[in-house]
């Protein structure tokens, strides 16, 4: 596909809209004493660009589990706490929601996902994931990894969350068959494995763990970094917004990614996951 097929000419305006949403979220966190960090690629963007990474459309945030649980309770009372042009969702609020972390949708823009099998119109979002700890000791760590990996796979398959763009057709068909079989077993509660996974990792507190991270993020176990990387956090800039990033961002980047390098346009486009349709004409308030 060409850049114009993805709607990338609209990306700069979408990023500005996402930055406005980020500011609202951070203002809310400050007002409610909720601790947070930028995570993943958003830390890279803050350190090396003071802005979004090139060809990035979202922001990743992490919250220590205790504050994360408090935020969910707030969302149960009001899903538009970040403004009328937003909508926040979590699996505990919506039995049809299949994602593990909180998503704050930006209703100002319409997009379609390249990771789904339908062409359903959705909206760009900001992810808010819990930061959890992990056990210490060789055998406990091995047991944790095995159980986490099993639950994560069962969750992904039961939700039919398989990316057809990344797999060969034959592999995709086999995965899809497994997913549909699993879905039959959990049809009375589609979130069965998701709840098992989330409840399991929530047991491990970041403050008493040597390694911690956003385990519900895209890299799973690879999200775990030494807890000292997070520390108490430090201020940084992101799209002219003062944000909080890990206290030792260079160590965090090295532990998570092995370091930083520049990427070609082609490499960024390989990871591109949406088609930007434009502003939402139905947004009225």
Q: Say whether both 142 and 16 belong to one domain.
A: no
d(CA 153, CA 196): 12
- pLDDT confidence bin for 247, thresholds 50/70/90: very high
Q: Which of 48-62, 64-78, 151-165, 218-232 is predicted least confidently?
A: 151-165
pLDDT at position 262 is 77
Q: Say whether both 122 and 246 belong to one domain.
A: yes
CB 246 within 8 A of CB 171: no
pLDDT at position 186 is 55
The predicted model gives 76-91 an average pLDDT of: 96
> What domain count does the chain have?
2
- pLDDT confidence bin for 176, thresholds 50/70/90: low
Q: Say whether both 106 and 244 belong to one domain.
A: yes
- The predicted model scores a pTM of 0.89
Q: Say whether both 145 and 168 belong to one domain.
A: yes
- Residues 183-232: pLDDT tens digits? 566 555 778 889 999 999 999 999 999 999 999 998 999 999 999 999 99
Q: Above 80 in pLDDT, residue 163? A: no
First to last CA, the chain: 36
- Domain assignment of residue 197, yes or no: yes
Q: Say whether both 126 and 250 belong to one domain.
A: yes
Domain of 152, in residue numbers? 135-203
Please give, one letter per residue, the 3-state secondary structure of 7-24: CHHHHHHHHHHHHHHHHH
- Domain assignment of residue 212, yes or no: no
Q: Above 80 in pLDDT, residue 12? A: yes
DSSP symbols for 71-133: HHHHHHH-TTTT-TTEEEE-TTT-TT---SSEEEEETTEEEEETTSSS--EE--EEEEEEEB-
- Domain assignment of residue 208, yes or no: no
The percent of residues in the chain predicted with pLDDT above 70, rounded, is 87
- Domain assignment of residue 233, yes or no: yes
The percent of residues in the chain predicted with pLDDT above 90, rounded, is 72
Cross-strand bridge partners of residue 95: none
pLDDT at position 177 is 66
- Domain assignment of residue 284, yes or no: no
Q: Say whether both 113 and 181 belong to one domain.
A: no
pLDDT at position 114 is 84
Q: Say whether both 48 and 126 belong to one domain.
A: yes
Q: Above 80 in pLDDT, residue 235? A: yes
- Rounded to the nearest integer, the mean pLDDT of the chain is 90
Q: Say whether both 31 and 145 belong to one domain.
A: no
- Domain assignment of residue 223, yes or no: no
CB 35 within 8 A of CB 233: yes
Q: Say whether both 28 and 84 belong to one domain.
A: yes
- Rounded to the nearest 10°, the torsion over CA 273, 277, 278, 283 is -100
Q: Say whether both 100 and 237 belong to one domain.
A: yes
Q: Say whether both 9 and 42 belong to one domain.
A: yes
Token pair for 4: 């114009």
Instruction: Look at 115 and 134; give whichever has higher pLDDT.
Output: 134
């Amino acid at each position: 596909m060409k850049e114009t097929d993805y709607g990338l000419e609209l990306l700069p305006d979408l990023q500005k809209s996402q930055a406005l949403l980020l500011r609202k979220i951070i203002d809310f966190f400050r007002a409610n004493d909720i601790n947070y960090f930028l995570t993943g690629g958003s830390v890279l963007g803050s350190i090396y660009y003071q802005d979004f990474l090139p060809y990035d459309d979202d922001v990743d945030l992490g919250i220590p589990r205790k504050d994360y649980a408090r935020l969910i309770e707030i969302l149960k009372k009001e899903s538009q706490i970040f403004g009328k042009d937003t909508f926040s969702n979590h699996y505990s609020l919506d039995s049809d929601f299949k994602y593990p972390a909180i998503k704050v949708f930006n209703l100002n823009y319409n997009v379609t996902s390249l990771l789904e099998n339908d062409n359903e119109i959705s909206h760009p979002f900001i992810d808010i994931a819990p930061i959890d700890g992990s056990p210490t000791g060789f055998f406990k760590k091995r047991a944790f990894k095995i159980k986490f990996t099993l639950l994560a796979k069962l969750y992904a398959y039961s939700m039919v969350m398989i990316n057809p763009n990344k797999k060969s057709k034959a592999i995709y068909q086999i995965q899809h068959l497994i997913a549909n079989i699993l879905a039959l077993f959990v049809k009375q509660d589609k979130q069965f494995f998701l709840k098992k996974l989330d409840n399991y990792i929530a047991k491990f507190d970041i403050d008493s763990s040597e390694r911690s991270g956003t385990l519900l993020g895209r890299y799973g176990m690879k999200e775990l970094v030494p807890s000292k990387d997070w520390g108490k956090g430090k201020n940084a800039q992101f799209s002219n917004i003062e944000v909080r990033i890990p206290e030792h961002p260079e160590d965090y980047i090295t532990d998570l990614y092995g370091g930083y390098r520049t990427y070609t346009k082609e490499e960024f486009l390989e990871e591109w996951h949406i088609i930007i349709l434009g502003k939402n004409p139905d947004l009225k308030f």
